[in-house]
Amino acid sequence: MKVDNVLATVKKNFDRRKFLQAGSIAGLGVAATTLIGNATTSEAKGITPQSSSSSVQDPVTKDTPAEIFTAALIAEDLATTFYFNGLVGPVIQDPNLAGPGGTATHVTSAGNLGNVDYLRAALSEEIAHANLFRALLGISGPANDPVQTFYFPAGVFDTLEPFIATLEALENAFIGAYLNAITEFARMAAVAPKGADYTWEQLAYYSEVAGSILGVESEHRVLGRVISNSNPANNRNYEAVDGIYSVYNGSRSAVVALTPFLTASTGPAYSLADAIANASSVSQKVGGGLPPN
């Protein structure tokens, strides 16, 4: 499938049933139920995994916390796979990145070290986000994540133009998803009954966490535009939902928008396991943690 066709498809609305079939993860909500446990990590301190058979749901979208966490995990795994393959693919030798003959860890004099470091840091950040959602769902490691393979149009990792176009499309979808998550957690906090499996304080905190991740995804969108010399790179007064009106449920959800990247007909397959196993060779660690709880 051509890059332009995929990017156009991301912006359309899809039937949720088609998404579940195309992604080969029918019953994602049921899968989330089985993935919930009691595992935590230091990164998720103060956030306790809960059962997805939740007494709390968004009164408008019907999304539950576990469904939002699961959708976010898949999106962050997709982003991890995307940034890793950009750092190891032919596109890294573009003059706006490492330059001819360069690599993610050896930028030539004809390349741009700052631009490469943007991508290396983005990879590290997406992995950190995925680790958080994995902890919230009680998943022991990436090998147990719901989606293990992602699909990109042929040539996305070969040259700069399709790579940055895909980066911007993905980040726009992520931004829309987290904007919706903020709203959904806020609504859930307002209606959470006494004795529910999530307190209003927890739900309000999840909304804050979603906002903090949204900020980083917005940075990725703008820095991608910096790499492609799109001026001004910071071209919005406000970030947008990009046609996304829920995270998990509904025909205009984030999971539906990302359907092409879960569909084999889109193009070559790329392994999450490969990205995770080799990420440390090209990623760049950054600082910062969760908002105070």
| CA separation for the pair 224, 218 (Å, rounded) | 10
Q: Which amino acid is at 287?
A: G
Tens of pLDDT along 171-229? 999 999 999 999 999 999 999 988 888 999 999 999 999 999 999 999 999 999 999 99
Query: What pLDDT sits at residue 41?
Result: 38
Query: In the predicted model, is pLDDT for residue 32 greater than 50?
Result: no
Q: What is the pTM of this model?
A: 0.86
Tens of pLDDT along 236-293? 999 999 899 999 999 999 999 999 999 999 999 999 999 999 999 999 999 999 999 8
22: confidence class by pLDDT, cuts 50, 70, 90:
very low
> Residue 271 in 3-state DSSP?
strand
| CA separation for the pair 43, 290 (Å, rounded) | 7
Distance of CA 17 to the CA centre of its chain: 21
Mean pLDDT of 120-137: 97
143: confidence class by pLDDT, cuts 50, 70, 90:
very high
Q: How many CA atoms does the CB half-sphere of 233 hold within 13 Å?
A: 13
Query: What pLDDT sits at residue 13?
Result: 35
Q: Where are the domains of the chain?
A: 3-37+64-281
166: confidence class by pLDDT, cuts 50, 70, 90:
very high
| CA separation for the pair 144, 139 (Å, rounded) | 6
How many other C-beta atoms lie within 10 A of the C-beta of residue 5? 12
Query: In the predicted model, is pLDDT for residue 48 greater than 60?
Result: no
